[in-house]
Amino acid sequence: MAVVLDKSHRWRVVLAHIAIIGFICLIMFPFLMIFSISIRPGNFATGSIIPQTISLEHWALAFGYSYQGPDGGLMEPQFPVLLWLWNSVKVALLSAFIGVVLSTTCAYAFARMQFMFKKSMMNGLLLIQMFPTVLALVAIYTIFDRIGSYVPWLGIESHGGLILAYTGGIAVHIWTIKGYFETIPVEIEEAAKVDGATAFQSFRYVILPMIVPILMVVFLLAFISGINEYPVASILLKSTDNLTLAVGVKNYLYPQKYLWGDFAAAAILSGLPITIVFLFAQKWMISGLTAGGVKG
Amino acid sequence: MSRSLEKIGQQLVSAVVVLFGLYVVAKIYMAGQFIVALACLAVLASGVFVYTSSRAYSYRYLFPGLMATLVFVVFPIVYTFAISFTNYSSRNLLTLERATQYFLEQTYTVEGGQSYAFTLHRDGRAFRVRLEDEQGAVFVSPPLALYKGPIIIEAQVPAAGEAPLGEPVDTKTLISYLPNLKLVSFQLPNGHLLSVTGLRQYGAVSKLYKANADGSLTNQQDHSVLTPNKKTGFFETSSGEQLTPGYTTQVGWSQYTKIFSDVSFSEPFFRIFVWTVTFAGLTVLFAFSVGIVLAVLMEWEALRGRAFYQTMFFIPYTVPAFISILIFKGLFNQNTGEINQILEMLFGLHLSWFSTPFLAKSMLLIVNTWLGFPYMMVVSMGLIKAIPTDLYEASAIAGAGPLTNFFRITLPLIVKPIMPLLIASFAFNFNNVMLIMLLTGGRPDFLDTKVPAGSTDLLVSFTYRIAFEDSGANFGLAAAISTVLFLMVMVLSLINMRLTKVNAQEAR
């Protein structure tokens, strides 16, 4: 920008840096605190923000090892954090996979084909994807309760049921993938047709390999929302070994049994891998979010 | 050759799929779920049509996605509407048939009836029961699985040449099978019905109720009549006393009239509604304000290290929300929390974040702004990039400062395209049940309301509490509130779609 800069400009830059660094300290404060708490002995605040003695007891418990307390007593892990993490990852991976598989061909048809009711179906999908699942919790609970009395592995307290319930995010996926299909020129399929490919062959062998990137994005978004989902999991899962991370970790902070230090270690242990995945996928996520995300 | 083989293979697979589908439908029908079976049959039939008819070619692509949307999204919504017109709750859980069946299974011990000592004997993997009355007459049951009941078995006098039963099982085994035995009744050759009355005793019992043709039940003991009341969903005696379990019945609009005209209910509902709107609105306002200021800074070319800053700002968004919310819950803790420690150290303040309504609300807004600003920043950055730079050059020539630039150029140009996202964010936070449930649980509760409701409850968390936390588990009422919320979200969504459309047209 070829604009003459006045003297105050440099000061403004310095001020901005200071303000930004101050703000970063502020927003990072919870993470710094939680780290310090996780290496501080005991489950209660002992008066100092920066720990004087470092203890790995909470970490040992988080990894599932027992630990000898200061009074010589045996401290055993209260909750299976790693199992919860595994449950979360399992449910999120499977539901994301099912969601992508079910939505891909549908998105293709919406982007490329002509059929009856296309316009109204698309508007319907757009409207549906704005509805939050929380509002159907009662129905979801009842449905899975009923299913469970005939097919136990799809009922309440089953991961199968939870995976099915998460498939409800499919309308958003269809919308996102459809947008990507529209950026691919139609000429590519026409060329395939000229070479003698059937409609399905041109989809399967020509178009599908080209849209792998958006499928990855959608998969990742579905995975993330699966990991982060709380309300549905909290009504479908009850027993400790079945919980996903999102519903499990809150058990550390019951007023009657307040395990602040143990929570800190468990939160870092389980949250860090997820956070790394998110950060790693940051660029993809942003493109997917701005394309039509509802989260805020 | 291989082509035709492939075709045969395909046909075989589809035949298997269709047959399996029909088997499932038959199973569901036999389980007594007529409507569900019909719906499954419709799905199956449309599937067969779509994948065989050449006219429906494009629907072959649509089928998986559309069916999934219908089953997993539309059906739960419609089902919610349906539940909202019933009294479905923990007191009215069963269907009328199941409730009637429950009453018909009730028995009472016949006064002055014989009692029978019994022993349980293993017979291979099955069990046999030996009954002996006070006069020494012996009856023996056929081999029983003892898996589930209820069931009525005929017990016979053992035949003369029959091999004697083995040793009776020990007490521990007997106790472990007692719940199963309780479901088994024995019919003696003389017509007497026996049920377990003690650990080693069967007694003569009789069915307590007899079904009448009009659906009412007659008590065999005192000859009173129970009539099912279609309005309340309970079997009632002539004096109007309700007997549990109740059954689910249609109650029309009464759940809705309860929300809007029952004062003990509509008053907290309205209070919560006001807070819900305030919460969602302020969250969007705060998150957007922080987000756009940061976005403007991140687009300022004179600033070095912007990529690093940007990553740092994005971190709150990448940490799973359920973890950061709980971290805040601990940090804000009134007695042991680190935030209160610091405040006490610096200003001598001791704030009760969780028990003062105003502080609890402020805490929610602080946490939610922290969670939401990175998204607003990223979105605003994209939009700021699209503003032509010559606008800023012109304003620099006119001698305008950064504040003027922000309020006269950046903000006005951004407001319109970002509006749909702000509305979507408003709608999301309107229903942000996770934040409330994990941070405050809706508390501190109002002291002056009959229904459990809290000053930080959003309408959804209020619904959640009615359905899943309150001991009443009033699903019907929760579904009715959900339906009202559906309509509100629908209005928001329609406004949003209209705005998006207008924006898209202007961009052309």
Interface check for A14 against chain B (CB to CB < 8 A): the answer is: no
**Tokens matching residue B412:** 């006005």
Measured distance CA(A15)–CA(A2) in Å, rounded:
23
Closest CA to B459 of B284, B266, B285: B266
If DSSP codes are grouped into helix, strand and coil, which group holds residue A190?
helix
Name the closest residue on chain B to residue A10, using Cα atoms: B302
Min CA distance, A68 vs chain B (Å)? 24
Would the CB atoms of B77 and A136 count as touching at under 8 Å? yes
Place of tokens 């009632």: B236
Lowest mean pLDDT among A46-55, A221-230, B86-95, B323-332: A46-55
Q: What percent of chain A has pLDDT over 90?
A: 22
Higher pLDDT among residues A83 and B300, named by residue? A83
**Tokens matching residue A264:** 């800190």
If DSSP codes are grouped into helix, strand and coil, which group holds residue B113?
coil
Min CA distance, A293 vs chain B (Å)? 8
Min CA distance, B327 vs chain A (Å)? 7
Q: Enumerate residues 183 to 212 of chain A having a beta carbon within 8 A of any beta carbon in chain B.
A: 199, 203
Which of B287, B317, B433 has its CB closest to that of A231?
Answer: B433
Interface check for B410 against chain A (CB to CB < 8 A): the answer is: no
Measured distance CA(A171)–CA(B182) in Å, rounded:
50
pLDDT at A295 over 60: no
Interface mutation target, options A135, A149, A290, chain B, most CBs of B under 10 Å:
A135
Amino acid of residue B410: T
Name the closest residue on chain A to residue B62, using Cα atoms: A106
Measured distance CA(A290)–CA(A283) in Å, rounded:
11
**Tokens matching residue B405:** 């630039």
Give the angle A112-B64-A193 at the CA atoms, nearest 5°: 35
Interface mutation target, options B3, B6, B62, B376, chain A, most CBs of A under 10 Å:
B62
Lowest mean pLDDT among A181-190, A231-240, B153-162: B153-162
Would the CB atoms of B65 and A249 count as touching at under 8 Å? no
pLDDT of residue A294: 36
Lowest mean pLDDT among A230-234, A286-290, B156-160, B299-303: A286-290
Q: Enumerate residues 240 to 279 of chain A having a beta carbon within 8 A of any beta carbon in chain B.
A: 245-246, 249-250, 252-253, 258, 260, 263-264, 267, 270-271, 274-275, 278-279
Amino acid of residue B30: M
pLDDT at A4 over 70: no
pLDDT at A285 over 80: no
**Tokens matching residue A100:** 């992508």
Q: Enumerate residues 69 to 98 of chain A having a beta carbon within 8 A of any beta carbon in chain B.
A: none
Closest CA to B272 of B131, B88, B462: B462
Q: Average pLDDT of chain A?
A: 84
Min CA distance, A102 vs chain B (Å)? 5
Contacts with A134 from chain B: Cβ below 8 Å: 431, 433, 460, 464
Structural contact between residues B275 and B460, judged by C-beta atoms closer than 8 angstroms: no
Which of A146, A271, A289 has its CB closest to that of B375?
Answer: A289
pLDDT of residue B283: 96
Would the CB atoms of B464 and A134 count as touching at under 8 Å? yes
pLDDT at A86 over 60: yes
Measured distance CA(B480)–CA(B255) in Å, rounded:
6
Name the closest residue on chain B to residue A225, using Cα atoms: B320
Query: What string of DSSP letters covers B133-202?
Result: ETT--EEEPPPB--SS--EEEE-BPPPTTPPPP-PBPPHHHHHHHHHHHHTEEEE-TTS-EEEEEETTEE
pLDDT of residue A3: 52
pTM: 0.83
Which of A102, A258, A282 has its CB closest to that of B68?
Answer: A102
**Tokens matching residue B152:** 């009525």
Mean pLDDT within A107-111? 90
Min CA distance, A203 vs chain B (Å)? 10
Measured distance CA(A245)–CA(B359) in Å, rounded:
29
Contacts with A260 from chain B: Cβ below 8 Å: 330, 333, 336
**Tokens matching residue A195:** 């070479």
Name the closest residue on chain A to residue B484, using Cα atoms: A135
Which of B72, B314, B486 has its CB closest to that of A282?
Answer: B314
pLDDT of residue A45: 57
Q: Enumerate residues 229 to 288 of chain B having a beta carbon within 8 A of any beta carbon in chain A.
A: 284, 287
Residue ranges of chain B with per-residue pLDDT less than 50: none
Amino acid of residue B12: L
Measured distance CA(A75)–CA(A58) in Å, rounded:
10
Measured distance CA(B311)–CA(B315) in Å, rounded:
6
Contacts with B497 from chain A: Cβ below 8 Å: 123, 126-127
Which of A106, A128, A260 has its CB closest to that of B64?
Answer: A106
Q: Enumerate residues 137 to 166 of chain A having a beta carbon within 8 A of any beta carbon in chain B.
A: 137-143, 146, 150, 164-165
Would the CB atoms of B58 and A168 count as touching at under 8 Å? no
Would the CB atoms of B375 and A136 count as touching at under 8 Å? no
Would the CB atoms of B315 and A128 count as touching at under 8 Å? no
Within 10 Å of residue B399's Cβ, how many Cβ atoms?
A: 8
pLDDT of residue A2: 45
- Please give the interface size between A and B, counted as residue pairs whose CB atoms are below 8 Å apart: 271
- Using CA atoms, how far residue B176 sits from B152, B170, B171, in Å, is 20, 10, 9
Q: Where are the beta strands (DSSP E) in B347-485?
A: none
Lowest mean pLDDT among A2-11, A102-111, B12-21: A2-11
Q: Which residues pair with B151 in a beta bridge?
A: B184
Contacts with B320 from chain A: Cβ below 8 Å: 227-228, 245-246, 271, 274-275
- Using CA atoms, how far residue A201 sits from A186, A216, B1, in Å, is 15, 22, 20
Would the CB atoms of A279 and B318 count as touching at under 8 Å? yes
Min CA distance, A263 vs chain B (Å)? 9
